[in-house]
Structure 1
């Protein structure tokens, strides 16, 4: 069982919720929640955001394991894979490295994200409250935002309201981005 899955289960159990209760609160399938808790399966951030909201916690709570003091410094050599999303419940699509892990009072979720070529297969749009800011570090990135599609290259950035249906993925080959997500309380 993954650390993220363990934490989701722990918060669910602390609130005396069954998987069925959580499925009802999130409109996510029972089997899906069970897989998240037990099998480390994450198709995208969207269901994790739903789970966090239903449990009354920040998304980053699922990744935190310590309290830090300001400033929080994350050394390149100390970055860890925190979350791996999967395409078609099989192939890894994106590898998320939390850049805010340990800062428990944060209001933003900063990540370094490796977008594997398989992520290009994911075209489902997601929508949630908040904002996102992304800077392309390497490779090419495809952004679908509402009815518009854009290709971003190294050094390009985008800042958008995430309530508009969107999808971000590799535009072929591997890409790397820095992303900051903001979810209002």
Structure 2
């Protein structure tokens, strides 16, 4: 087991709290098979299911992203960014997005800031997700398409969007080329 993998951290938290996979499935509303793939096959869900897992286990989302001692102020140099997770990755599917945590190391944070590379594969499956909180996105490079409820918005470099993430939404590339964004997610406690 690799301790740096999200699935490993989820299993460790479940063991510490004495929660079975069946109980976690019941608490989150997620299928047992899906939860097993997250834990065993290095499958990273979108942030909605990951947040449900964190909430059900009584931990912050950041618990699965880092376990370092916090520091203030936190400075992350561009050259120090590390790929934290790739969303929608399974053995038979390419990654749709790569997330780089910009808050890693600040354990008392209330927001989750990310630099995100949105890959063209993100446009293939537009699965909507929802979770409590808010999201703020600024497009750095390329174009993205955001499905927000029944609306669709196309954004280019310099454009931004701020929305309540309880509304079902999807963020993907708007075409055949990759895009990059800065995203800040807020999850109420």
Runs of 4+, deviation exceeding 6 Å: none
Q: Give the 5 Å matches for 1:1-185.
A: 1=2, 3-86=5-88, 90-172=93-175, 173-185=177-189
Give the superposition deviation at 1:102.
Answer: 1.0
Separation in 2 of the partners of 1:90 and 1:32? 15
Contact in 1 for aligned 2:43/2:89 (Cα 8 Å):
no
Give the superposition deviation at 1:87.
Answer: 6.1
User: Structure 1 length as normaliser, TM-score?
Assistant: 0.96
Contact in 1 for aligned 2:100/2:115 (Cα 8 Å):
yes
Further displaced range: 110-119 or 40-49? 40-49
Give the superposition deviation at 1:76.
Answer: 0.9
Separation in 1 of the partners of 2:45 and 2:72? 33
> Residue by residue, what CA displacement relative to the aligned partner does 1:82-126 show, whole Å, maximum 9, x if unpaired?
111126762110000000011000000000000111011121111
User: Structure 2 length as normaliser, TM-score?
Assistant: 0.94
Separation in 2 of the partners of 1:117 and 1:142? 11
Alignment length (residue pairs): 185
For the aligned residues, what is the CA RMSD? 1.3
Structure 2 residue matching 1:129: 3-state secondary structure: coil
5+ residue gaps, structure 1, are none
Contact in 2 for aligned 1:86/1:93 (Cα 8 Å):
yes
Separation in 1 of the partners of 2:43 and 2:137? 24
Cα 1:43–1:11 change in 2 (3 A) is closer
Structure 1 residue matching 2:27: 3-state secondary structure: helix
Separation in 2 of the partners of 1:34 and 1:124? 20
Contact in 1 for aligned 2:134/2:164 (Cα 8 Å):
yes
